[in-house]
């Protein structure tokens, strides 16, 4: 329980409490509601971005499949394939026949590769020989089953395509691809059909990683820390991070390790369990972020699609609102405190004045007077104090007059008392004379008493002597009686002897 020494402080505290408590409660609930709304809006925006990115990636992959299928349906592709296959089968990659086929057909397919923004375009025969590539990397002329390429994503695509139907397209995930400087590569492959509907080989394309990054790094409306990225089931990147393009790029992810270059956050784990949701987690940089996650299904594998923004930035508006509210509450507090002080002084001033007058009166100063300058209850208090002082003055004057009368009566009583004292003194002297006579008589009585006591003592002594003599006489009589008995017994004995 708070205790205040002055009513002024108590009034100020009361005014502040009554006025600020509702304001603070209102501000608290308003901020909470606004924060919840801002959080919901931030999550909603992330979910929208996630959905857009998922649609864009799915559409892009679908467009790649469609382009590959269109190329597969082009009779010119089958014609070019047959020319390259015949040349490399008969004379090898460095033969004039292959160079003639290249001169005739290569330009068109290089242009198709460029227009579609693919990384590379492949013709592969039924034995797995790579008979043509638009990029002409070191894989040209290699046989997939009999080379290290068989362990790459292109090898996976070739193995799956061999088992697929004529129109089915195989999609394989990113793996390091040695012919492309060992950088991660992913592929699409389908069976190539000629005009007669005969399976003559395979046509494949290599994913353009920069196109995937371009889609994922479109960041309109995502602020300074917002980003979207893809993660594989091996927890390695499938698109470059915007916030950490060096340590968390696709290339760095496959070259390094998961702890330093991959992503194994709660969002990624939840996404690969089939969950599509949004929550606050710790990201791969150790920052708290709002994360919205889902997966992109590519048939044989999945990618986790993550949309995130730092919690601090997402809630910056909420923090600003809190700061503004705090400033407003502080300013209102100052204004209310000023008003409270003015009102408290207006209320406590007359009370303090009345207390001061009451203290002067209690110390005996009845000259003190109080000015009645209020028209409310405080004015009534001032008037009551004024009336009380007036009545106290009248009472003191009346008591003073009564005291004077009592003083006169006391003087008269004093004279009578003095006369009484004289008479009492005389009586005291007579009493002393009587007491003297009584004392003398008492001495005579004491002498008589002493003589009587001595006579009594002598009588007592005689009594004791008589008692002692009586005891001696009694003892003598008993002895005579005993002697008489003995003589009688002797006489009887003699008589018995004589008779005998």
> What pLDDT was estimated at residue 456?
60
pTM, to two decimals? 0.65
d(CA 245, CA 219) in angstroms, rounded, equals 15
Percent above pLDDT 70 for the chain: 77
> What pLDDT was estimated at residue 56?
94
Contact 267, 281 (CB under 8 A): yes
> What pLDDT was estimated at residue 448?
46
Q: What is the largest CA-CA distance in the chain?
A: 211
Domains of the chain: 37-58+213-316 (3.30.450), 74-207 (3.30.450.20)
| pLDDT tens-digit readout, 211-249 | 999 999 998 888 899 999 999 999 999 999 999 999 999
pLDDT at 180 over 80: yes
> What pLDDT was estimated at residue 458?
54
Lowest-pLDDT choice from 152-161, 210-219, 331-340: 331-340
Q: How confident is the model at residue 315 (pLDDT cuts 50, 70, 90)?
A: confident
**Tokens 């949004």 identify what position?**
278
Task: Summarize the confidence of residues 272-288 as an average pLDDT.
Answer: 94
d(CA 154, CA 86) in angstroms, rounded, equals 23
| pLDDT tens-digit readout, 260-272 | 999 999 999 999 9
Q: Round the average pLDDT of the chain to a whole number and report it.
A: 83
Q: How confident is the model at residue 18 (pLDDT cuts 50, 70, 90)?
A: confident
d(CA 1, CA 452) in angstroms, rounded, equals 91
119 Cβ contact list (under 8 Å, min separation 6): 135, 180, 185, 205, 206, 207, 208, 209
Q: Which one is predicted more confidently, 230 or 430?
A: 230
Q: Which one is predicted more confidently, 209 or 425?
A: 209
Percent above pLDDT 90 for the chain: 48
Q: What are phi and psi of 4, to 5 degrees?
A: -120, 140
Task: Summarize the confidence of residues 101-113 as an average pLDDT.
Answer: 95
Q: Which one is predicted more confidently, 42 or 392?
A: 42
| pLDDT tens-digit readout, 373-422 | 666 666 677 677 677 777 777 777 777 777 677 767 667 766 766 765 66
> What pLDDT was estimated at residue 471?
75
d(CA 471, CA 287) in angstroms, rounded, equals 134
d(CA 141, CA 131) in angstroms, rounded, equals 6
């Amino acid at each position: 329980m708070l205790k205040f020494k002055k009513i002024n402080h108590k009034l100020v505290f009361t005014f502040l409490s009554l006025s600020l408590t509702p304001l603070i409660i209102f501000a608290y609930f308003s901020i909470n509601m606004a924060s919840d709304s801002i959080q919901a809006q931030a999550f909603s925006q992330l979910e929208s971005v996630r959905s857009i990115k998922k649609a864009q990636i799915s559409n892009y992959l679908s467009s790649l499949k469609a382009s590959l299928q269109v190329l597969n349906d082009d009779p010119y592709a089958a014609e070019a394939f047959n020319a390259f296959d015949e040349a490399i089968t008969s004379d090898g990659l460095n033969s004039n026949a292959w160079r003639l086929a290249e001169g005739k057909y290569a330009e068109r397919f290089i242009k198709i590769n460029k227009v579609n923004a693919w990384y590379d375009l492949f013709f592969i025969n039924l034995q797995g020989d790579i008979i043509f590539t638009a990029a002409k990397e070191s894989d040209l002329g290699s046989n997939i089953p009999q080379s290290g390429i068989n362990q790459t994503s292109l090898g996976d695509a070739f193995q799956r395509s061999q088992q697929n139907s004529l129109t089915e397209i195989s999609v394989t995930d990113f793996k390091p691809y040695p012919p492309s400087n060992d950088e991660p590569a992913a592929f699409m492959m389908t069976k190539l059909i000629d005009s007669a509907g005969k399976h003559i080989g395979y046509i494949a394309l290599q994913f353009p990683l920069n196109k995937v990054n371009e889609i994922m790094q479109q960041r309109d409306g995502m602020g300074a820390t917002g980003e979207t990225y893809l993660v594989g089931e091996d927890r390695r990147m499938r698109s470059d991070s915007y916030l950490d393009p060096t340590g968390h790029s696709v290339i760095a992810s496959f070259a390094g390790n998961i702890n330093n270059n991959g992503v194994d956050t709660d969002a990624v784990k939840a996404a690969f369990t089939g969950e599509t949701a949004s929550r606050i987690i710790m990201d791969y940089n150790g920052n708290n972020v709002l994360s919205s996650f889902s997966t992109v299904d590519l048939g044989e594998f999945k990618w986790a699609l993550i949309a995130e923004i730092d919690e601090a930035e997402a809630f910056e508006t909420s923090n600003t609102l809190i700061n503004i509210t705090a400033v407003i509450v502080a300013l209102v507090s100052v204004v209310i405190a000023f008003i409270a002080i003015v009102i408290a002084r207006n209320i406590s001033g007359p009370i303090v004045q009345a207390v001061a007058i009451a203290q002067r009166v209690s110390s005996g100063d009845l000259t003190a007077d109080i000015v009645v300058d209020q028209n409310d209850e405080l004015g009534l208090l001032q008037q009551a104090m004024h009336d009380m002082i007036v009545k106290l003055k009248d009472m003191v004057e009346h008591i003073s007059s009564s005291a004077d009368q009592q003083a006169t009566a006391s003087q008269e009583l004093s004279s009578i008392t003095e006369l009484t004292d004289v008479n009492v003194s005389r009586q005291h002297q007579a009493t002393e004379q009587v007491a003297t006579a009584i004392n003398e008589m008492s001495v005579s009585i004491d002498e008589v008493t002493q003589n009587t006591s001595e006579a009594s003592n002598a009588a007592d002594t005689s009594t004791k002597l008589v008692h002692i003599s009586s005891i001696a006489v009694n003892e003598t009589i008993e002895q005579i009686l005993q002697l008489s008995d003995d003589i009688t017994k002797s006489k009887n004995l003699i008589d018995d002897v004589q008779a005998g």
